């Protein structure tokens, strides 16, 4: 169906605040429609999004013709084209296998103590002040610390990596950057790859055991192509591994502060934390969009998709589809039923999903249990301007100042608890 509606309206600040109402409007028009402003099909229904995400007739290749990309963006496009996220079978499976061992359940479990230590240090530092910016003080530094630990990045180099990743993430999440924005993203990727090449091939200091650097160093072959692929995918992990988790922690914190009874329930019943993490991911996912492109003329949800046409899978809209999630705008930690699309679906299901869940759970539990009277503070939260990523640029909170001794983790805080009923609130 062709309609005058356009996903581009999501760029507007006033729409970002009511994004899921906007998605409802799009879905009510049609679950799959042609967006003439984006020159792409837009899918908003859970059934069509989940079907398309694993459909072999749709390609994940973002730049099928590098020569057609603007000169400023071309260097970045070449690197993205080597990343697993933008490859199809069989290359996708081969690239994913290069580094998947670093993200097995056992490997992620070994990071629990390191994540808890990093969260403890942040909370202990901020607890006496009575105020913090969740994004700058917790949501951004925590996942960056963990992914840099995985890559064995020295402490003094981490600010530079964070600075390089920001314009790259902006370019990935925004297809309408100007020439300066595209140039900045390409230059940042060049700096990042140069750094990673030096880090992963240096011999003066051996890699720390059980790090991604150790794994990559062991797997790297003697050909430039293999190393280039490894570097491109390490860059992907660095950017995706902290940008998306940053957004998840910020979005989840905001949702809990807007639903104080839900936050109280988690304080009483820490056994609900795994389910709460899944519901918070569904409720306001950090990644809103996946891009696919038709390999050949095909049928999707009764529509004829022409070869080469783009299909934008709006995961955020699928996660609020009432056909799968009754009362979709309700935050319900005891919800049963459908599977959310926050980490994608099919072969491209997020490699770092288990790590993101663990970081989010540890961070949220610390906020809820160690900062009494936690509440929103200051002006309305501000969303970054992106179709792909859903994240806050700042989230100011206040709480009752506590001393270092008072802010220490509570004994027995292992995610177990009792009491409490279902948390349900309607706030869109």
At residue 415, the pLDDT reads 40
- Measured CA to CA, the distance from residue 97 to residue 84 in angstroms comes to 10
Q: What are phi and psi of 218, to 5 degrees?
A: -70, -30
Q: Return the residue matching tokens 């790090």.
A: 211
HEC string for the chain: CEECCCHHHHHCHHHHHCHHHHHHHHHHHCCEEEECCCCEEEECCHHHHHHHHCCCCEECCCCCCHHHCCCCCHHHHHHHCCCHHHCCCCHHHHHHHHHHHHHCHHHHHCCHHHHHHHHHHHHHHHHHHCEEEHHHHHHCHHHHHHHHHHHCCCHHHHHHHHHHHHHHHHHHHCCCCCHHHHHHHHHHHHHHHHHHHHHHHCCCCCCCCCCHHHHHHHHCCCCHHHHHHHHHHHHHHHHHHHHHHHHHHHHHHHHHHHCHHHHHHHHHCHHHHHHHHHHHHHHCCCECEEEEEECCCEEECCEEECCCCEEEEEHHHHCCCCCCCCCCCECCCCCCCCCCCCCCCHHHCCCCHHHHHHHHHHHHHHHHHHCCCCEECCCCCEECCCCCECCEEECEEECCCCCCCCCCCCCCCCCCCCCCCCCCCECC
Domain extents in the chain: 2-398
- Measured CA to CA, the distance from residue 320 to residue 290 in angstroms comes to 16
Name the pairing type of β-strands 303-305 and 298-300. antiparallel
- Measured CA to CA, the distance from residue 238 to residue 374 in angstroms comes to 30
At residue 277, the pLDDT reads 98
Q: Return the residue matching tokens 């160690």.
A: 370
pTM over 0.75: yes
Q: Which CATH superfamily is domain 2-398 in?
A: Cytochrome P450 (1.10.630.10)
At residue 214, the pLDDT reads 77
At residue 208, the pLDDT reads 77
Structure tokens at 395: 């989230």
33 bridge partner residues: 42
- Measured CA to CA, the distance from residue 59 to residue 61 in angstroms comes to 6
Q: Return the residue matching tokens 């951004």.
A: 140
- Is residue 401 within 8 A of residue 128, CB to CB? The reply is yes
* Torsion on CA atoms 126, 129, 135, 138, rounded to nearest 10: 10
- Is residue 292 within 8 A of residue 52, CB to CB? The reply is yes
Q: What are phi and psi of 58, to 5 degrees?
A: -110, 130
Return all residues near 6 (Cβ < 8 A) that are at least 6 apart.
35, 36, 37, 38
At residue 255, the pLDDT reads 98
Give the residue among 57, 146, 169 at the shortest CA–CA distance from 352: 146
At residue 412, the pLDDT reads 46
At residue 404, the pLDDT reads 65
pLDDT in tens, the chain (428 residues): 555 689 999 988 899 999 999 999 999 989 999 999 999 999 999 999 999 998 999 999 988 899 888 999 999 999 999 999 899 999 998 888 878 878 888 888 889 999 999 999 999 999 999 999 999 999 999 999 999 998 889 999 999 999 999 899 888 877 667 889 899 999 999 999 999 988 888 877 887 776 777 777 666 654 455 778 888 988 988 888 788 999 999 999 999 999 999 999 999 999 999 999 999 999 999 999 999 999 999 999 999 999 999 999 999 999 999 999 999 999 999 998 789 999 998 888 898 999 999 999 999 999 999 999 999 998 788 898 888 999 999 999 999 998 866 666 654 444 433 333 444 444 33
Residues in the chain: 428
Name the pairing type of β-strands 2-3 and 32-35. parallel
- Measured CA to CA, the distance from residue 346 to residue 143 in angstroms comes to 25
Give the residue among 194, 193, 199, 192 at the shortest CA–CA distance from 213: 199
Structure tokens at 113: 């103590």
């Amino acid at each position: 169906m062709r309609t005058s509606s356009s996903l581009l309206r999501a760029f507007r600040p006033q729409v970002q605040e009511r994004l899921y109402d906007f998605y409802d409007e799009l879905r009510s028009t049609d679950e799959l429609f042609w967006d003439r402003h984006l020159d792409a099909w837009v899918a908003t229904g859970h059934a069509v999004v989940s079907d398309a995400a694993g459909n072999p007739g749709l390609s994940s290749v973002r730049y099928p013709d590098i020569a057609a990309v603007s000169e400023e963006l071309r260097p970045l496009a070449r690197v993205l084209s080597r990343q697993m996220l933008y490859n199809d079978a069989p290359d996708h499976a081969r690239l994913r296998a290069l580094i998947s061992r670093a993200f097995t359940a056992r490997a992620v479990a070994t990071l629990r103590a390191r994540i808890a230590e990093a969260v403890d240090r942040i909370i202990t530092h901020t607890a006496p002040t009575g105020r913090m910016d969740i994004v700058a003080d917790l949501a951004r530094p925590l996942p960056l610390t963990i992914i840099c630990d995985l890559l064995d990045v020295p402490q003094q180099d981490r600010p530079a990596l964070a600075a390089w990743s920001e314009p790259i993430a902006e370019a990935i999440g925004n297809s309408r950057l100007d020439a300066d924005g595209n140039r900045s993203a390409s230059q940042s990727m060049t700096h990042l790859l140069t750094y990673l090449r030096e880090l992963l091939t240096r011999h003066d200091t051996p890699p720390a055991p059980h790090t991604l650097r150790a794994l990559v160093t062991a797997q790297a072959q003697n050909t430039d192509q293999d190393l280039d692929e490894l570097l491109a995918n390490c860059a992907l992990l660095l950017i995706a591994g902290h940008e998306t988790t940053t957004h998840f922690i910020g979005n989840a914190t905001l949702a809990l502060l807007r639903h104080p009874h839900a936050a109280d329930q988690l304080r009483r019943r820490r056994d609900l934390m795994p389910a709460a993490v899944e519901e918070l991911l569904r409720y306001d996912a950090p990644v809103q969009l996946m891009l696919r492109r038709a390999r050949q003329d095909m049928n999707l949800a009764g529509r004829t998709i022409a070869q080469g046409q783009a299909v934008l899978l709006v995961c955020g809209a699928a996660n609020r589809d009432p056909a799968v999630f009754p009362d979709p705008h309700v935050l319900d930690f005891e919800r049963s039923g459908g599977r959310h699309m926050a980490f994608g679906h099919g072969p491209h299901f997020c490699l770092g999903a288990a790590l993101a869940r663990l970081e989010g759970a540890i961070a949220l539990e610390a906020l809820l249990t160690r900062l009494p009277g936690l509440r929103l503070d200051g002006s309305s939260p501000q969303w970054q301007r992106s179709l792909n990523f859903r994240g806050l640029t700042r989230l100011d909170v206040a709480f009752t100042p506590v001393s270092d001794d008072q802010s220490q983790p509570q004994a027995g805080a292992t995610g177990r608890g009792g009491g409490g009923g279902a948390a349900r609130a309607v706030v869109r």
